[in-house]
Structure 1
């Protein structure tokens, strides 16, 4: 109580009140708000209901509705008209509804601003929301919106169960990403100790003494959870385990008392001891779940009014139900509600849901989400579909596309819908907002079933097939989706929005290999759009088309990008503009235009901040991480990308995959190889990151001498990018592929790949691919001998990377330049250069690379002060432990097959390691390798297997 008083006495505050179920969060909050300290604040309190069908901003709406009688006389601006769908009872007092917004982010932002205005007009100082672990995404985003505004309009108090939060819950951002000046208080409630248990039980027994033995007995069986203690003591009293004698309490012997092991058991036993009418009321309240007024509760029970009153009185008196300020009744605790609900037989439960649905339908303020829930549980498919779509439309109008997507997906994947209704509903679903990947395939199955029917017109079939293709591509099945969209194009109206968006999807260079010309054809042959298409859609199509052209390497698209607006006073257009800025940031980074990327990113952040587009912050942060990686701003980058990589259920958003890519690259540079591989494999799940992830993994394989693995993982990415002229996706993978081909002795293939890369580049000089091309040419020259010419080419590559600037790639090229000079006998130039490279690697944070260079310097007698970084080392031009083992066995005269049998690996792996060792030691035969290993003193126990195999 004191903590809450102090925190709310320094407004505005954000207070997180956490603890397990039954620990007393609700009781503490409500006791405080009714105490003198709490009454000093104008507070609104709402609770998040545990409904399967979510209710957009349900807790906020209920808090306002319970605490505010009407809004007449508040002199609200026209912005408050956005509240009309959520408060139909205030229609006479609210301004007219504003124009609908097609962009959900903008619609949600407008609604949030309307709520803030309302809270300000009502002079509310505290908004308290309970059970936020059940909150819909819109409610959580509203809390973030409140906490991020400056000045923060109200203090926020939330209660929740931390064990029920998913790893990627938006609630975690409320504590981890608040502004620096935010006043955050975290209050965690813990179970009672034994002495506290004794005091608690005594307070229920007329303050009489409770023995330590009895308190310990109860504590062991309830874990000190207050609700479990309360239910157990009430139950023991009801069944006379506790009796009143001679003016005091007497307790039976402990060995004769049975305390239920769970709250559920205690609640159900207590309910079973109540009168039948009271049990009927409790069953009805459990089915309704949300607070209900007397007429609705009466209708669900179907009891005569003269019997319901006494039953309600008993239910409230026994502590199971409570009445709020509006006269609505509900369970005092969700655990008790759930326990009673689960105990109702399924046939009776279904009948109660049907009565509940009809009662709510006839009430003054019917909730579409609650109606959808009741009619679904009742098995009334028609009513369920009608109200679920209404609830989804309401959520979309409020900008809550996640709730709308969940409601609509439940429909299309469960109900038997007519084909035209199915296509209409699928078109509304924002699949990226769904909580896991399975919904994609449920919708795919439903659309395929509709397409198999003979009831669709050609136009309906085309739209259904386009939606099927769109869903497949979102799900990652790029080629299946592309085929369906291509089939749909034949019947879609050429000048329609669907046809234009289909062309953009087909133009994006994702999935399997296609020539760049084939992608470009979809955009260049597009007919003009129909005049009826709204300006918002026209802007979106312009932006999407420009981004596709940039990803295809079209220089002219940059001029079009610069002609697009930088911002807008219109929220939906501003949302589109912010997204396009992040897309252009990505394109600029791939082209190597880092300063331009920085400019686009600054514009995106400015628009997102000014319009409070919370949903774009992840994409902006991941783009910033990419820019910082490229430009060498690594200080604190590891922590930032780790914070971005928060996943739930194996589902990854694009920005999380991008963050995982750079987390893997940073870990590889630091020497944490195993963790780097895990991050890179996860990043590769996303099509837009998979090629760069493959390049990074191939680099690790080469350092370990696994040449064949490096060749295998880079084969398809090179085919997708260079061979088909899509150079924007090949900048990282082409050099490592060339390196692997050279290591394998396949020099002709390496030269052919470099030539193909050169042909794929645009006529103008995009900096990043030009630097990569210089590096590839240097690798080819080095393959024919580490001469001064190869060193000069590596120097040119280093200069090209540094000009971007991309210091890490520049240092890698300078290292190879120095090694070529050393091999050519120019140690006086090579060793100081290597020493400087080692120092720069250390300053950058690439400890693994610094260690590799330092080992080379030590071999040449050059003393350095570079310290070893953490994690598994990369080996550079030094033999890895496994390569040494292979070399020792080779000296003994064993064949590759015999070595493979000894080490329990494949013959192919042995061959790769032999070739890697030959490359590193600059020899061209197995005999020369054996001689060189002996000369360097690397033989150890020549010809004998390693100790673990003996």
Structure 2
């Protein structure tokens, strides 16, 4: 695509001898300017990528998710524009429809909508999408036939208010409100007949926009293809983008295009296209390529800069070559832009500086006002910047930088004082326009340091985000406002009341936020209700950070001032009902939950109770109370029976009750609830809960013995998640696997990290299991003192509170440590208390663990045959859950006591079986221990080759074979999971393992390979 043609050779030289590089030659007025005027470069060097993108967006094909990644200036936007142009030409040829930028014709062929994410700290909810819709549909929504749901868009599109339905009633939960807004925006795209949605610079996208993109990809009736461009190096930590691009929806195309720098030949083609297609010498092409690394934007800027310096001079129809070494090309695009701007006259520089501060396309009058120039001076200056390729005139006559990196270079070159001055002008100029955006005004007045307008417009922007149901954007604005130095306490309280700040984690400067709220409480002028609001928000922020125990102190103080707000009071009471390692006994937690239940029944409207019942049920399940199961059947009801806004609450109910069923030991019920939750989250795009559900599914698979590819599955969970509790859960799951596999050092590090996080926040769910695992690890190493230390604090909390539901993972290790230390009576008392605490309760895991404790005590002071019987009962209880790992560990103890009781034959045979089953499961460290015990009794323990997963080498395991059999019958992963009562994640992992063993990468290839192997077994 270089477009070179055979002409006389042209070279590049300094036009005037004696000038140092970078110095322009003087040009008297009488001397004509023979410098070339570079043209915009032709699209060059991306044939394969262009073909892939056009094919992905072909009309009539499946919906696509296309991700174009590459560094700044690599040509991502140009590639997308060229592809859309070709698609438009193809569609026009085939259907007679218009070009690629239309919003779809009456034939329903659909159109393209292009959104660009601005480099702002915070933006109005769905800012890029809303701006694109507003520009593409200036006449408003009339004739689109939008449903009443579209009323939630009124705060986002106030100019459309007269043609939209009223805003629906607000929803109590921010997640439900956000989900309703996502549905409304998706409906708008459907009515506009959008077939392709392009979102440029997704690394700058606000969280709401990313949520919407995730929602679009998971819709069951997905019709919109997505084309996303982004810079990997600028992707912020915790971005949702990896989640979007790592889990493509079924039934669609997923194309990832990573753009690389141009080669020397394509460099020559690009430069030639800017210089009237005249030939560019190999020496000059190589020179430019070496100094620009083949980055198209750097090449373009270098050609312009060389022209500005008079390094490109045409003499008698050819470029006269001097010495390439005399030409200095700046090492970065920013340097090139900075030098080009410095060579412009003062008015042009001023216009460019104004455009850089505005940061987005602006009308002439706004741009000139920010520049502070009259039109008769500003217009020629802007024209010069356009001719020079720095500015471009876009839709509706708006001016902006052609490249964001150029704008950033100019912006970074401003002094702090000049930047503040220009931001102040921008704020004033935008405020005088029709329907100005509060978000943009807040951005500019913040940059100007003008606190009054910043507070006023930032608060208005938060209000609009709240009205639209976008709590996350509102949180960002309120957070910034709360950290304004010297903000009066009453302003703080007013802002605090606007949004539940605990809703989303990852707040910037969280400690600064907490300090602001705590300082506010020192103001004696606050009313009891105002003080309650601050306590409530403090509690929520601390709770979201995983600090459950300290958050409850704040909730208790808040309730005292919430007499006039029963809904908020009920929420605080439920949060106080969640057990932590505070001194509160179970009975006190239950009293809070009883009070909350009374308020719910009396004060909460029936249509809003699901949110409260989900939280109430979860707290009761954590307390081991059977009444917590009462609402669970309702969580499994048909989705059509609940309001759309309640789907998120329903999903949270499935997640919480599924997790509860797991640690209660009701594993079949847990599988049913979690699989339903995962399917629902996939279908409705409930991303925030999806990864928590997936983590619980992986945890359940650990308990149930589905260990195929286990470490890989754990590491794949929530790679961008920044919730400390979630990260600690991953450490726990990996630590459990390390311990079973015999990697004791790594296991200890991971389990200790998980326990530390649980202790930091008072989270009993995250204390008991790692503490018990650490206790087992130290006991196996003969370190009784460390085992006692690891289990002492958490055991004390559970026994003091009477919270036995968490004892399954901890108390057997504690009892064994006490016995090893010779504290037999204490071990017996703890065992008796555990048995009493679980008696009459249908908590199978705790009941099985209580049998383990009884077997340990029996083995310490009773005959071997009685101990063997006790261990047999414990093993059977674990098998019934099923928890095969614990069952095998109990069977090992049973076999050892059978051997001791004599005769040893039956015990030794059982021990051989246990060793083999542990090895097959993947518990190789335990299998090695059993093998050593067999050798001590004179038995030969055959070493199993462990080259493959689960002791099967390159052969398929029995579980993998089951999955492959159903694959050969044509079943999907989800159908296989249902047939085998496994999770879809487990089935996917087993298929992946089978593919690896057969050396293939697709389901089809696996089926062919297995069928061929069966037909030719000798091979």
Alignment of 1:347-358 (within 5 A): 347-358=417-428
Partners of 1:87 and 1:438 lie apart in 2 by 28
Name 1:918's counterpart in structure 2: none
Structure 1 position 675, deviation (Å): 4.4
Q: What is the alpha-carbon distance in structure 1 between the residues aligned to residue 128 and residue 775 of structure 2?
A: 50
Is residue 2:124 matched to residue 1:59?
no
Of residues 53, 56, 72, the one that matches 1:4 is 53
Structure 2 equivalent of residue 620 of structure 1: 693
Specify whether residues 766 and 173 from structure 1 end up closer, same or farther in structure 2 by C-alpha distance, changes over 3 A only.
same
Classify the secondary structure of the residue corresponding to 1:730.
Answer: helix
For the pair 1:452 / 2:522, whether they are aligned, the reply is: yes
In the TM superposition, structure 1's runs of 4+ consecutive aligned residues that sit over 6 Å from their partners are none
Equivalent residues in 2 for 1:603-618 (5 A)? 603-605=676-678, 607-609=680-682, 611-618=684-691
**Alpha-carbon separation, structure 2, partners of 1:864 and 1:810:** 21
Residue 775 in structure 1 maps to residue 852 in structure 2: yes
Alpha-carbon distance change, 769 to 494 in structure 1, aligned in 2, over 3 angstroms: farther
TM-score (norm 2): 0.81
Distance 2:548 2:685 in 1: 33
Does the CA contact (< 8 Å) of 1:695 and 1:714 recur in 2? yes
User: Aligned pair 1:127/2:127, yes or no?
Assistant: no
**TM-score, length-normalised on structure 1?**
0.86
8 Å contact from structure 1 (residues 272, 279) kept in 2: yes
Which stretch of structure 1 is more off in the superposition, 476-485 or 693-702? 476-485
Q: Which residue of 1 aligns with 2:9?
A: none
Q: Of 767, 789, 793, which residue of structure 1 is paired with 2:870? A: 793
d(CA) in 2 for partners of 1:532 and 1:788? 60
For residues 167 and 837 of structure 1, what CA distance do their matches in structure 2 show?
46
**In structure 1, distance between residues paired with 2:72 and 2:942:** 56
Please say if 1:571 is aligned against 2:571: no
Deviation at 1:525, TM superposition (A): 5.0
- Bigger drift between 42-51 and 206-215 goes to 206-215
Which residue among 144, 147, 150 is the counterpart of 1:77?
A: 147
Q: Distance in 2 between matches of 1:466 and 1:435?
A: 16
C-alpha displacement of 1:507? 2.0
Q: Give the equivalent residue in structure 2 for 1:549.
A: 620
CA apart distance, 1:718? 0.6
Q: Which has the higher contact order (CA 8 A, sep 6+)?
A: 2
Q: Secondary structure at the match of 2:66?
A: strand
How far off is 1:182 after superposition?
2.1
Listed as ranges, the gaps of 5+ residues in structure 2 are 1-49, 92-99, 101-110, 951-1019
In structure 1, how many angstroms separate the alpha carbons of the residues matched to 2:718 and 2:735?
11
Distance 1:462 1:401, change over 3 A: closer
Counterpart in the other structure of 1:905: none
SS of residue in 2 equivalent to 1:52: coil
Decide which moves more: 45-54 or 672-681.
Answer: 672-681
Q: Does 1:183 align with 2:253?
A: yes
Contact (CA 8 Å) 1:243, 1:251: kept in 2 or not? no
Tell me the distance in 2 between the aligned counterparts of 1:495 and 1:364.
39
Is 1:722 matched up with 2:792?
no
Query: What is the CA-CA distance between 1:798 and the residue it aligns to?
Result: 0.4
3-state SS, counterpart of residue 389 of structure 2: coil
**Offset of residue 606 of structure 1:** 5.4
Shift of 1:465: 2.4
Aligned: 1:663 with 2:663: no
Provide Cα deviations, 1:876-921, integer angstroms capped at 9, x if missing partner: xxxxxxxxxxxxxxxxxxxxxxxxxxxxxxxxxxxxxxxxxxxxxx
1:583 aligns with 2:656: yes
Match for residue 629 of structure 1 among 702, 706, 726: 702
Q: How far apart are the structure 1 equivalents of 2:863 and 2:232?
A: 60
Equivalent residues of 1:81, 1:98 under 8 A apart: yes
Residues 758 and 45 from structure 1, CA distance in 2 versus in 1: closer, same or farther, beyond 3 angstroms?
same
Structure 1: stretches of 5+ with no match in the other structure: 874-950
* Partners of 1:717 and 1:730 within 8 A in 2: no
Secondary structure at the aligned position of 1:731 is classed as: helix
Q: CA deviation at 1:100?
A: 2.7
Distance 2:257 2:594 in 1: 60
| Aligned partners of 2:549 and 2:580 also within 8 Å | no
User: Does the alignment pair 1:436 with 2:506?
Assistant: yes
- 1:376 pairs with one of 435, 446, 462: 446
Aligned partner of 2:276 among 189, 202, 206: 206
Task: State the distance in 1 between where 2:400 and 2:560 align.
Answer: 56
Aligned residue for 2:969? none
Distance 1:425 1:694, change over 3 A: farther
CA offsets 1:555-586 (integer angstroms, 9 cap, x no match): 23323544678444323333222212211122
> Pick from 294, 297, 313: which aligns with 1:227?
297
1:833 aligns with 2:910: yes
Task: Answer yes or no: is 1:142 the counterpart of 2:212.
Answer: yes
Structure-2 separation of matches of 1:92 and 1:253: 67
Asked if 1:31 corresponds to 2:82, the answer is yes
Q: Which residue of 2 aligns with 1:481?
A: 551
Change (3 A) 1:524 1:416: same
Cα drift, residue 801 of structure 1: 0.8
Contact in 2 for aligned 1:571/1:611 (Cα 8 Å)? no
Shift of 1:269: 0.8
The question of whether the paired residues in 2 share the 8 Å contact of 1:440 and 1:472 is answered with no
1:344 paired with 2:421, answer no
- Which of 68, 72, 79 is the equivalent residue of 2:137? 68
**In 2: Cα distance, 1:473 partner to 1:117 partner:** 35
Question: 2:165 aligned to 95, 99, 103, which one?
Answer: 95
Q: What aligned pairs does 1:722-741 form with structure 2 within 5 A after superposition?
A: 722-741=799-818
Deviation at 1:656, TM superposition (A): 4.8
Distance in 1 (alpha carbons) for counterparts of 2:180 and 2:565: 32
Segment of structure 1 superposing worse, 667-676 or 499-508: 667-676
Between 9-18 and 116-125, the greater mean CA deviation after superposition: 116-125
**Root mean square deviation of aligned Cα:** 2.7
d(CA) in 2 for partners of 1:38, 1:843: 60
Asked whether the 8 Å contact 1:781–1:789 carries over to 2, the reply is: yes
Q: 1:191 to 1:673 in 2, by over 3 A?
A: farther
Contact 1:33–1:39 (Cα < 8 Å) also in 2:
no
User: Aligned with 2:808: secondary structure?
Assistant: coil
Point out the more displaced range, 673-682 or 506-515. 673-682
Do 1:738 and 1:779's aligned partners in 2 also have CA atoms closer than 8 Å?
yes
Moved more, 833-842 or 792-801: 833-842
Contact conserved, 1:32 with 1:38, CA < 8 A, in 2?
no
